[in-house]
Amino acid sequence: MHIVLDELKEVLPFESMVHPSIGNLRTLHALSLESPDRFWGEIANELYWSEKSGPVLRPTDVPPFGKWFEGWKTNISYNCLDRHLNTWRRNKVAYYWETESGESRTITYQQLSDMVNRIASGLKELGVRKGDRVTIYLPMVPELPASMLAVARLGAIHSVIFAGFTSQSLVDRLVDSQSRVLITADVAYRRGKKIGLKQIVDEALERTPFVRHVVVLNREGSSGTDAGKRNIPFSELMHMGKGRVSPEFVEGTHPSYILYTSGTTGKPKGATHSTGGYMLWTYYTQKVVFTVRDEEVYWCTADIGWVTGHSYIVYGPLLNGVTSILYEGAPDYPQPDRWWEMVERYGVNVFYTSPTSIRMFMKFGEQWPKMHDLSSIRILGTVGEPINPEAWKWYHAHIGAEKAVIVDTWWQTETGGIMISPQPGNHLVPLKPGSATLPIPGVDAEVVDEDGQPAKQGQKGFLVIKRPWPGQFMTLWGDDDRFRTVYFTKYPGMYYAGDYAVKDADGYFWILGRADEVLKVAGHRIGTVEIEDSLISHPAVAESAVIGRNDQVKMQVPVAFVVLRPGNTPSENLRSELLNHVKKTIGPIAVPDQLYFVERLPKTRSGKIMRRVIGAVVEERPIGDVTTLEDTTSVDEARRAYNELKNAMKS
């Protein structure tokens, strides 16, 4: 489902569509780059800072080449909550929470603030202080955003782990961040089933003795096997302290959170975000891209465990005093009109989801959205992967009734917030299905060739950002070297995003997919090496190679090739065991769609696995140049294994 250049040529007239609003946007854009102090300083005044000294941006010689709001002080939870409490928004709904089974809660800004203060008081009693890390492993419950804000209120640093990850992922992230406090729940609910989160946590706790306290939200009344040792019920935590905590005002460059994301090695990268710049970026982008009005309802369907949820379910909406929906459940449960039924019931005006979900609904058919009145929808967003023009048009026609504005938003965990997107709240430029359109003010994006020179119009190249922007991550937690190497070495002085892109005659950006060995599975980012490491950690596996295969709905799915250790023989049982092993160690999103047993993996003379060859075999493309193969017979072998399996599956 990668957008290929040929497909683009059909929908994309490579001639200009210049429009007056593009001119205005370009003026604003130029101003933001030339006078960041003036431009961002003015927007920063819409938020609360306890101190403002020094410049908005101080350029530096080393990556990321700038520090934002270094001498300024603020607290992001104060800006999300307290700032609204002296206004009429105090009694406005912050979240409508709903579960699959229909359980629901309405939480106002005042109520959220009370919850956050109570959690923060409890955490303070547990010894949490400025700069400490607190890991949060919760499903989509109101206690999740409340815990994040409570941690931020203390000037501590949260590390939220997606509740779909399992024990090894949890251990790796706890060890890396050295969190002494973990907040979790006994269970999560999905598709009518219970997922035992605390069980996964207890397994991880066996290998993380430095974790001193485990706060457990008991939804089913059980605390797990670790009970009595480190466990504290969430309800008890809420009554431990004084119930109110003064916010800790921290420097703009103080880390607000770590969010682990996949890279090209087995070790996840702890993208570390600032407080001041990140706050400004989520506030500003939420406002100009989604333009949610006070009387409106906004729904971002992501999970808070990913960056989209951090920035556009928690920080962006709350900083803007928006009313959001928080939904714990699957999009098609109990049937494929679940989301549309909710859109109608809440009168959702602005809706933000992923291309994978859109393609899934395309497959279900338009009869499902047709069952409901979706006329409240004004803006439709997409994020996480390239949206193919066909899905864009379906979304526009069947969810947006041909009238909603589509905002295709390109950004990454590392960028903190939206970077390239249409902006209905500033100057809406003409939309082109499949293009994220133009960089927003503050973003100096370019498509460059292998040498770092601007690529020609219509020519595929690499996406880079040429100067610092407020939302940028500051480093990778505990690994400044990796931060510099991964992002700032390929093109000195520029941020390398790791995506292929192409620019058209109007300067519109078309993002074509990842340029590295990171997969996008249903919009989720997962490193092939992480899956390989998981497979190799099984005693029966000697070697493995994982690649991504294009998929009609999920964009990509992992496919694994495995070489067994002597004494093991391929079997259906072993295949299931290995798939289950990946599920248990990383999580369901990493489980290969197919797993093939082979005798050898195709390798170069220097021993590097030739993924290109495996990819070609899987996608039945010509293999191309294989002269550097160590042993060409292994290509035939991989092909034979694949064909055999395909035949076996057919029969």
Tokens of 53: 């000294």
CB nearer ligand PRX, residue 268 or residue 498: 498
193 contacts 165 by C-beta, under 8 angstroms: no
The 554-593 contact track toward ligand PRX, x by CB under 6 A, reads ----------------------------------------
Report the residue from 82, 202, 203, 408 that binds ligand PRX according to the rule CB under 6 A: 408
Query: Is residue 447 at the binding interface for ligand PRX, with CB under 6 A as the rule?
Result: no
Nearer to ligand PRX, 322 or 502 (CB): 502
Neighbour-count burial of 118, counting CB atoms closer than 10 A to its CB (0-12 exposed, 13-18 middle, 19+ buried): buried
158 or 520: CB nearest ligand PRX: 520
Q: Which is nearer to ligand PRX, 188 or 463 (CB)?
A: 463
Q: Does residue 286 bind ligand PRX (CB under 6 A)?
A: no
Q: Which is nearer to ligand PRX, 75 or 282 (CB)?
A: 282
Rounded to whole angstroms, the Cα distance separating 320 from 47 reads 10
Position 301 contacts ligand PRX (CB under 6 A): no
- The answer to whether 261 touches 140, Cβ cutoff 8 Å, is no
Contacts of 347 (CB under 8 A, 6+ apart): 297, 376
Q: Which two tokens stand for residue 140?
A: 């989509």
Query: What is the rounded distance in angstroms from the CA atom of residue 304 to the CA atom of residue 95?
Result: 13
Find residue 597's DSSP bridge partners: 562
Listed ranges 491-499, 548-556, 593-601, 603-611: which one lies at the site for ligand PRX (CB under 6 A): 491-499
Half-sphere exposure for 326 (CA within 13 Å, toward CB) = 29
For ligand PRX, the closer of residues 109 and 410 by Cβ is: 410
Binding positions for ligand PRX, 145-204, rule CB under 6 A: none
Q: How far is the CB of 264 from ligand PRX (least distance, A)?
A: 13
Least distance from ligand PRX to the Cβ atom of residue 461, Å? 14
- The encoded tokens of residue 537 equal 């950690």
Contact region for ligand PRX (CB under 6 A) — 8-16, 232-240, 377-385, 543-551? 377-385
State the minimum distance, in angstroms, from the CB of residue 8 to ligand PRX.
13
Q: Which of 174, 181, 215, 383 binds ligand PRX (CB under 6 A)?
A: 383
CA distances from 352 to 369, 381, 425 (A): 16, 4, 16
432 binds ligand PRX per the rule CB under 6 A: no
- Cis-peptide into 142, omega within 30 deg: no
Interacting residue with ligand PRX among 384, 461, 592, 602 (CB under 6 A) = 384
Binding segment (CB under 6 A) for ligand PRX, from list 281-289, 405-413, 532-540, 578-586: 405-413
Looking at beta carbons only, is 250 or 555 nearer to ligand PRX?
555
Q: What does 590-609 look like in DSSP terms, one character per residue?
A: G--SEEEE-S---BBTTS-B
Nearer to ligand PRX, 208 or 282 (CB): 282
Among 241, 255, 386, 389, binds ligand PRX (CB under 6 A): 386
Angle, helix 276-285 to helix 36-44, in steps of 10 degrees: 80
List 165, 351, 395, 410, residue binding ligand PRX (CB under 6 A)? 410
- The reply to whether 379 sits near ligand PRX by the rule CB under 6 A is no
Give dist(CA 140, CA 185) in Å, integer: 11
Query: Which residue, chain included where needed, has tokens 């519109």?
Result: 508
Q: Please answer whether residues 341 and 372 qualify as being in contact, where contact means their C-beta atoms are separated by less than 8 angstroms.
A: yes
Cβ burial of 604 (10 Å; 0-12, 13-18, 19+) is middle
- Give the strands of the sheet with 250-251, arranged side by side: 51-52, 72-74, 250-251
Q: Is 504 in the site for ligand PRX (CB under 6 A)?
A: no
Degrees, nearest 5: CA angle 430-431-435? 135
Task: Tell me how far apart the alpha carbons of residues 321 and 292 are, in angstroms, rounded to a whole number.
Answer: 9
Give the C-alpha separation, 409 to 420, whole Å.
Answer: 6
Q: Which is nearer to ligand PRX, 151 or 511 (CB)?
A: 511
Residue 412 interacts with ligand PRX (CB under 6 A): yes or no: yes
Cβ at position 3, least distance to ligand PRX in Å: 8
For ligand PRX, the closer of residues 286 and 544 by Cβ is: 286
What is the binding site for ligand PRX (CB under 6 A)? 261, 307-308, 383-386, 408-413, 436, 497-499, 511, 514, 520, 525
